[in-house]
Structure 1
Amino acid sequence: MIGLPTRPTGRPLLMGVVNVTPDSFSDGGRWFDADAAIAHGRELLAQGADLLDVGGESTRPGAQRPDEQEELRRVLPVVTELAAEGAWVSVDTMRSAVAARAVDHGARIVNDVSGGLADPAMARVVAGLSVPFVAMHWRGHSHDMQTRAVYADVVAEVRDELLARVEALVAAGVAPEHVVLDPGLGFAKTPEHNWQLLASLRDLVRLGHPVLVGTSRKRFLGDIGAAPGAPLPPEQRDAATAATSVLLAQDDVWAVRVHDIPSTRAAVEVVAAVRAARAGATS
């Protein structure tokens, strides 16, 4: 049985994003070639990433899915090489067959943005693999997910829908301590929903499961520091991402998923240093 990597004292783990896709919103295919993706993963580790999330399917709004064989072609060489070099690798997939093959090739975490809903076999397969599973809040695939961004109380509904996923996963045999929760910022959420969830993240942390959050370069951050109606492009959203990472570190999340490691690493280490100073002053 593979456990979760331990969260460092005072800060969350840093999960570096390795998109092996031609159409991701942030990097638009820069790492689509396997060799380029492997080199990027190494660079993220050198910059201080604690683990890497390798994905072969873009989940930006409106994205179309690759077929299973194409997803495998994209991710397996990257997972294999980075894992062989000692990296702690997570595979970002909604397909149980891809999850199983990636774990066979060295992945140690399955990160499913659908929380197991997109593939009915996922929960059973992950239970058999005995690896940690990230269950994100999800209401549908990218092509129409934003039509499902309707909530009376987004915080309560996301919490309750995630708890329902935990119940289903555990019933299928996934160890409770292997379930990581993700509120799914930007997935069937408006900007207002994202801010409300960030403001209430401690409610999710209090459920007792490790929490992973990905705010990195998402659309709702593009309005921060931008002129009205002219959002910043993704590569100019790292300062806002680092600011959200400070808030998440203060809320004691287990990990943050980010594209730019140096800015977020500096931000969360500030939180850790202040916490250490406070602890020393009261000891």
Structure 2
Amino acid sequence: MDERATPSPVGIRRPSLVGIVNITADSFSDGNRFLTAQAAVTHARRLRSDGADVIELGPAASHPGAQRVTADEEMGRLADVVDQLVAEGIPVSVDSFQPATQRFAAARGARYLNDIQGFGEPARYEELADTDCRLIVMHSVQRHGPATKVRTDPTEVCRGIEEFFAERLAALETAGVRHDRLVIDPGLGYFLGSGPEPSLRTLAHLERLKARFDVPVLVSPSRKSFLRTLTGSALPEIGPATLAAELYAARSGADYIRTHDVAALRDALTVFEALEMAKEGGW
């Protein structure tokens, strides 16, 4: 099964929906809710029934001030969950920048590896080339540790994102990673800057990013800080702003949208497509 976006009846590419399951104690969004294997699997099944094409498991938080989690701890949190979901035929992505965790996930049948540092260790590229996983290469502003707020000018941010992917994708492909295994994520929220402008500029230029690199693009505006800053909404009220950003990303050609609320986005896309069909006279 290819989880990439598929054409709708009116020619709009409906993105693949990536449902987020945080197996952490300190996620800013839902920490400690799915820390046990049973809770994580139950939530993953619910997201899948809501329309998720892929379930992404996050064994460690990445926000500023997040607890440091060792690779052994990550693997302990993931093991039973990955095994159960893979056994049920559910496509799994694992969100970790730790090499040992990535090896573990690939060996257990994960279809995607999502690295918030953008696979920053060239010595591992030949090893990555030998796996079957698709690699979600996230734009990272520093090589070691979670990304931090280091840029403020939106134009500089966009230029930096393109330079990052030009260098990183070339290096991965030179090492033998097939082009069709690569997915890029420009990063949003604190990964780009302290204010909303860099994230807004990045979302507004998704089509340019897709055209330049000719690989699928994943975005994850869900509940991000830039939306809360922009709207003045607290986390429990950020759902409408999240949905607006996700719909904009879908309209701009995002191939994957990583979200906490799969059902809301599924329904919004269904209505959006129905309206487009009516506009074209197909309804």
TM > 0.5 between the two? yes
Distance 2:49 2:64 in 1: 31
TM-score (norm. length: structure 1): 0.89
In the alignment, is the contact (CA less than 8 A) between 1:181 and 1:211 conserved in 2?
yes
Counterpart in the other structure of 2:5: 7
| Bigger mean CA deviation after superposition, 267-276 or 202-211 | 267-276
Give how far 1:144 is off: 6.6
In the alignment, is the contact (CA less than 8 A) between 2:115 and 2:136 conserved in 1?
yes
- For 2:224, give the aligned amino acid: K
- For 2:44, give the aligned amino acid: G
TM-score (norm. length: structure 2): 0.89
Distance 1:106 1:22, change over 3 A: same
In the alignment, is the contact (CA less than 8 A) between 1:239 and 1:263 conserved in 2?
no
| Bigger mean CA deviation after superposition, 14-23 or 121-130 | 121-130
Deviations 1:63-86 (A, max 9, x none): 232111011111122111111111
Distance 1:269 1:122 in 2: 41
What is the Cα-based RMSD across aligned positions, in Å? Answer: 1.9
Distance 1:188 1:271 in 2: 29
Counterpart in the other structure of 1:25: 28
Distance 1:122 1:77, change over 3 A: farther
| Bigger mean CA deviation after superposition, 153-162 or 256-265 | 153-162
Work out the percentage of aligned pairs sharing the same amino acid. 36
Give how far 1:123 is off: 2.7
Distance 1:199 1:171 in 2: 30
Deviations 1:225-272 (A, max 9, x none): 43xxxx412x32121111111111111110100001111112222333
Of residues 116, 129, 134 in structure 1, which corresponds to 2:136? Answer: 134
Is 2:112 the counterpart of 1:83? no
Structure 1 residue runs without a partner (length 5+): none
SS of the aligned residue for 1:153 comes to helix
Give how far 1:57 is off: 1.3
Counterpart in the other structure of 1:258: 259
Distance 1:224 1:268, change over 3 A: farther
Counterpart in the other structure of 1:189: 193
In the alignment, is the contact (CA less than 8 A) between 2:83 and 2:108 conserved in 1?
yes
- For 2:267, give the aligned amino acid: A
Distance 1:273 1:6 in 2: 21
- Mapping 1:110-189, distance limit 5 Å: 110-117=113-120, 119-140=121-142, 145-146=148-149, 148-151=150-153, 153-186=156-189, 187-189=191-193
Distance 1:27 1:112 in 2: 20
Distance 1:149 1:65, change over 3 A: farther
In the alignment, is the contact (CA less than 8 A) between 1:84 and 1:106 conserved in 2?
no
Of residues 223, 226, 229 in structure 2, which corresponds to 1:220? Answer: 226
- For 1:261, give the aligned amino acid: V
Of residues 21, 35, 38 in structure 1, which corresponds to 2:38? Answer: 35
Give how far 1:179 is off: 0.8
Distance 1:56 1:276 in 2: 41
In the alignment, is the contact (CA less than 8 A) between 1:14 and 1:51 conserved in 2?
yes
- For 2:138, give the aligned amino acid: M
SS of the aligned residue for 1:110 comes to strand
Distance 2:36 2:268 in 1: 31
- For 2:179, give the aligned amino acid: P
- For 2:99, give the aligned amino acid: S
Structure 2 residue runs without a partner (length 5+): none
Distance 2:106 2:241 in 1: 33
